[in-house]
Structures are given as structure tokens and as C-alpha cells.
Amino acid sequence: MKFAALDEARDFLAAHPDIDMIELFILDANGVPRGKLLHREELLAVYESGRPLPSTILGLTLNGDDVENSGLVWDVGDIDCRAYPLAGSLVRLPWRQIPTAAVQVSMHPQEGLPASIADPRHLLIKVIDGLKAEGYHPVMACELEFYLLDAKRDGNGRPQPALDADGGRPRSTQVYGLRELEQIEPFLADLYAACKLQGIPARTAISEYAPGQVEITLEHGDALEAMDQAVRYKRLVKAVAHKHGMQATFMAKPFDHLAGTGMHMHVSIADAEGRNLFASQDPAGTPLLRQAVGGMLASLLESLLLFCPNANSYRRFQSNSYAPLAPTWGVDNRTVSLRVPGGPANSRHIEHRICGADANPYLAAAAILAGIHRGLRENLDPGEPVQGNGYAQATELLPTDWLTSLVALEQSAWARDALGSEFLGVYLAVKRAEYRQFMAEVGEQDWRWYLTQA
């Protein structure tokens, strides 16, 4: 684990004499940023000796509740665990009224115990190090979809697309529509400017398959760095949307009649000199690429909870929706779960299309890379790629419910070996608690279905 040098903080403070506040955050297993708001004069001490954070901070449910059987609450007395800043993460937040910067921290492997075992970034580093030890250097990129919503709900209290710049509300699906992007130009201008300021390589913007749905691609690079950027990008999108009077959501399926929201993960493997080991004139890639696909398919069910972590995640799996339904792969085919895009030989890679945008990028990447490592070690054959409509040819479907995925990860010997039993112990305790809370809640759908009929 490499943490930032003290000089980074000194140089930043010298270059930004107006900064008053520092937002210190760590990402929990649900992808929720949690932390503290510090004063300027507290920053150097964080770089020198870390910052104590309670052990429970990495064992909370999505709604911020303690999970007593996580091992991070009463068993350890909610002990302080020391977190340190990540290099390159200290950046200005240009949308804040009070001049504010943010710095991302991660638990120290020793000083951060016991919380460090539950740090999602640690898990990704562990999986990457395992690949690098065998000469494989993972390269990744994220495509994150999101909805821009009105800050105000409609007359029925439901979320609705944000107003266009001309005051209208988008009603129809105009995929790849340029007018739709023009209508959110003020938001996009501030978003790209903030990305540039924070060193996040945001590239192509696309109007997606629903009113108010947008996708912006991030550039590929070192796997850990790419996921750091994805984490900070999600925070940035929400903050810039809020500045413009909107709400950005990465919820997997916010509307039953509209497209779900995915996080497509692009991955390849390079050697120590940076040469793409998947590169081939064959559109299906090298034997190594096929082994990687085989490993991801073999571990898909056991990994699914990390790709689709919430009850709502599974509402996205619908036929003919460009969302995946089956453990399938293909070449330049968007009806499968694992797609090998076309393009020049040296750009050959795999597009993993299973994750919802609600997934934690660190955990999703860790599960993807662990599956690839399995395929390379065991020389797994994925079978022939799907030709044509993958939905029509599927013989085995992915689970469409939360509990099946939870149980599959719980019972997986492969996952315990690849991801570690200590991390899984905390993560599964959190997800079990969320499942019980979700199933215990009675709401509007229950009343519509059962109040008068039961």
C-alpha cells in the first residue's frame, strides 16, 4: 500500500492559500463515501501520522446502520483505526461555497486493523498483486451510466427527469441524440471542467436509452488508478448535478419502464513492458483472452453479488434491454454478458457488461480480475462465442433475485480463496443485514398488491 508524501499536502496548501476546509473520505463496501470535514490546519497531521476513524465506518449498511455481527462493532469496542491519504487524491472542489478540497484515504494495513480487512481498495490491490506476481498487469476502464433527475418529485412523489435548458422535460428516448446533450450543456461544461481540474480523464458523452440518461466514458489505464478515478468521478457527477439544481443517480433501475443503468468494465492484460497480451488480428483475441473469458464465466454466479449488490440491481435484468441475462460471450455483440469489441488488434480487450452502476468499482474490479486469474491458472475454455441474438440462445440465465446471489457468494470456496474469508465475513454480514431490513419494510407496492386482495 502506497500512501501520499507529506510534500504533496504542503505543495497543495501553498498553491491554494484560500482553501479553508478539507473533506476527508473513505469508500465503504457499498461504495458510500464516509469521513470527516477538517479545517485547513489539520491536513498536514493527516499526512504525517494518519487520521483515526472508527472501525464501524467500514461495516455499515447502505443506510448507515451498524452491523453487530460484522466483527467491527462491540467485539472490538468500535476501536479507532488509522487511515492515510492516497497519492494524487488531494483536489479542489470547485462547486463548494466555502473553499474546500477533498482527500481520499485508505486504511493502513497494520495501523488500520481491524477495519483494514474490510477496505474495498485493499481487496483490489490484493487481487492485482496476485496477477502481477505471475507477470500479468491488468488494464481497465469504466463506462458509467447515470440519470439526471429533477430535484423535485412529480405530483405522485416519484422521481422525474430533470428539466432541459429550454425549460421542457425530456419525454422520449433519443439514444445518441445530440440535442439531448446540447440541452444539458451547462452541466456538461462544469462536469468536464471539474474532471480536468481533478485529473479524471472523462471522454465521450452519449445520450443513452432513456430520457435523462447519460453515459460518459473514462480512459483506460492501470487497473487500480482507473478504479480510483471511477470512484471520484461518481462523487463529482453527483456534486455538479446538485450545483445545477438536479439529482444524479447511479441506481441500477430507477424506473420500471425505462432502461437500467450499468457500469461497463473494459479489461485487458499487459506484460511488464505494457504490451497488450490480448492483442490479435483475430477478432476473438488470443488464447489468453479466451482463458480470461472462461474464468469470468466460471466464477460469474459466485461473483454476482459484487456486480449487483442491491435488491434493485436485479430489476435491470430484462430481455432485449441491452442488459445481460446469461453467462455468455461474443465478438462485437451487445446481447451477451462478456463482449470482445472490434477495433485495431492492439486494442483487443473484454467489455464486462454485467455490473449495475450501483456497484462499488473496487469490488467489481476485484471480482472481475479474480475471475480472469482463475481462467489463466486453470486454462479454462469459454466455448464458442455467441453469434446473433444472445437473448434468444441463452440456455442458462443469471439469477434475478438478491438472495440467490448472496447465498452463492456465501457458499463459494473459490471466493473465500480468491477474495479472502476475512473480507467476505464483513461484507456478507452487511449484505445479510440489508436483506433482512429490505424484506421487513412494508411499502407502496405491498399495499397495491395485497391490501384489498389478500
Confidence band, pLDDT 50/70/90 cuts, at residue 256 = confident
- What is the per-residue pLDDT across 409-451, written as a single tens digit (0 to 9) for each? 999 999 999 999 999 999 999 999 999 999 999 988 999 999 9
Q: ∠ CA(301), CA(307), CA(310), 5° rounding? A: 105
Are 261 and 353 members of one domain?
yes
Domain that holds residue 280: 127-419
Are 46 and 155 members of one domain?
no
From the number of C-beta atoms within 10 Å of its C-beta (0-12, 13-18, 19+), residue 411 rates as: exposed
* 372 vs 383: CA distance, rounded Å: 15
Q: ∠ CA(199), CA(203), CA(205), 5° rounding? A: 130
Rg (CA), the chain: 22
User: Is there a domain that residue 199 lies in?
Assistant: yes
Mean pLDDT value across residues 25-39: 97
Instruction: Return the CATH number at 32.
Output: 3.10.20.70
User: Quick one: pLDDT at residue 89?
Assistant: 97
- What is the per-residue pLDDT across 202-213, written as a single tens digit (0 to 9) for each? 988 777 767 788
Q: At what angle do helices 402-410 and 300-307 cross, to 10 degrees?
A: 120
* 183 vs 401: CA distance, rounded Å: 37
What is the overall mean pLDDT for the chain? Answer: 93
- What is the per-residue pLDDT across 136-194, written as a single tens digit (0 to 9) for each? 999 999 999 999 999 999 888 888 888 877 777 766 666 666 777 888 888 899 999 99
Mean pLDDT value across residues 207-235: 89
User: Is there a domain that residue 432 lies in?
Assistant: no
User: Is there a domain that residue 44 lies in?
Assistant: yes
Confidence band, pLDDT 50/70/90 cuts, at residue 394 = confident
Are 205 and 97 members of one domain?
no
Are 165 and 290 members of one domain?
yes
Confidence band, pLDDT 50/70/90 cuts, at residue 336 = very high
* 45 vs 190: CA distance, rounded Å: 32
Are 112 and 142 members of one domain?
no
Are 244 and 340 members of one domain?
yes
pTM, two decimals, is 0.95
User: Is there a domain that residue 156 lies in?
Assistant: yes
- Give the list of residues 6+ apart from residue 256 with CB closer than 8 angstroms, or none: 315
Whether the CA torsion 292, 294, 295, 296 is positive or negative: it is positive
244 has pLDDT over 90? yes
User: Quick one: pLDDT at residue 317?
Assistant: 84
250 has pLDDT over 90? yes
The total domain count for the chain is 2
User: Quick one: pLDDT at residue 65?
Assistant: 96
* 438 vs 401: CA distance, rounded Å: 13
Instruction: Return the CATH number at 251.
Output: 3.30.590.10
User: Is there a domain that residue 395 lies in?
Assistant: yes
User: Is there a domain that residue 57 lies in?
Assistant: yes
Are 336 and 361 members of one domain?
yes
Mean pLDDT value across residues 100-116: 97
319 has pLDDT over 80? no
User: Is there a domain that residue 375 lies in?
Assistant: yes
Are 75 and 207 members of one domain?
no
Mean pLDDT value across residues 7-26: 98
Are 53 and 195 members of one domain?
no
Are 396 and 290 members of one domain?
yes
274 has pLDDT over 90? yes
- What is the per-residue pLDDT across 35-93, written as a single tens digit (0 to 9) for each? 999 999 999 999 999 999 999 999 999 999 999 999 999 999 999 999 999 999 999 99
Are 76 and 192 members of one domain?
no
- The share of the chain scoring above pLDDT 90, in percent, equals 76
* 360 vs 430: CA distance, rounded Å: 14
User: Is there a domain that residue 34 lies in?
Assistant: yes
Are 198 and 177 members of one domain?
yes
